[in-house]
Amino acid sequence: MYEEMSPETGEFFNFMTEHELFDFVTRENKHLGGYCTFMPNYKAPFIFSNFNGTSADIDVLTHEAGHAFEAYYASRRLPLMSQAFSTSEINEIHSMTMELFAYPYMERFFGDKTGKYLYAHFTDAIKTIPYLVSVDEFQHRVFENPGSTSADWRRFWREIEAKYMPWRSSARSRSTA
């Protein structure tokens, strides 16, 4: 899949495989969770996960591969290692976009259930967008108002929630307050 996606992702994934930079298998006493970390001295990302045989395994693989590819690619092109691993402001652009880049290959994982997987994944993505833009607009409003108080922040959030997620009961009941 990654070799077909682009020469760069092919090189990246082969590097990851050659150097055994994955730990996907669930074992007794293994820590829970899934993440990607980066070892600057080796310019090497590392992906940790606990696969459980569900479609989420594929989400984790493609998502964390997005983080890992960002670090792999940037660390070979940017002068400072501190620039190689992106920060929380933009991290999920790489990972969530990689999930979408993998759409054309999902039939290899899901066979005749590919349509169901893509429908579930895409509706999840669509449903997440209003929350993500809310967080982004909230940050803008907080930074544009350095003297604002925690009461202001609650008001900002209620106004933003009423705008992007009006179906939330907290947005409905409080937006008129």
Question: Closest distance between Zn ion and the C-beta of residue 100, in Å?
Answer: 13
Comparing CA positions, the residue from 45, 48, 7 lying closest to residue 30 is 48
Q: Judged by CB under 5 A, which of 9, 71, 95, 160 binds Zn ion?
A: 95
Question: Closest distance between Zn ion and the C-beta of residue 99, in Å?
Answer: 10
Task: Answer yes or no whether residue 75 interacts with Zn ion by CB under 5 A.
Answer: no
Sheet holding 44-48, edge to edge: 22-23, 44-48, 35-39
127/168 Cα distance (integer angstroms): 13
Q: With respect to Zn ion, which residue has the nearer C-beta, 56 or 162?
A: 56
Q: With respect to Zn ion, which residue has the nearer C-beta, 41 or 88?
A: 88
Q: With respect to Zn ion, which residue has the nearer C-beta, 62 or 75?
A: 62
Task: Please choose, out of 47-55, 95-103, 111-119, 130-138, the segment that lies near Zn ion by the rule CB under 5 A.
Answer: 95-103
107-139 burial: b if 16+ Cβ within 10 Å, else e: eebeeeeeeebeeebeeeeeeeebeeebeebbe
Binding site for Zn ion (CB under 5 A): 95
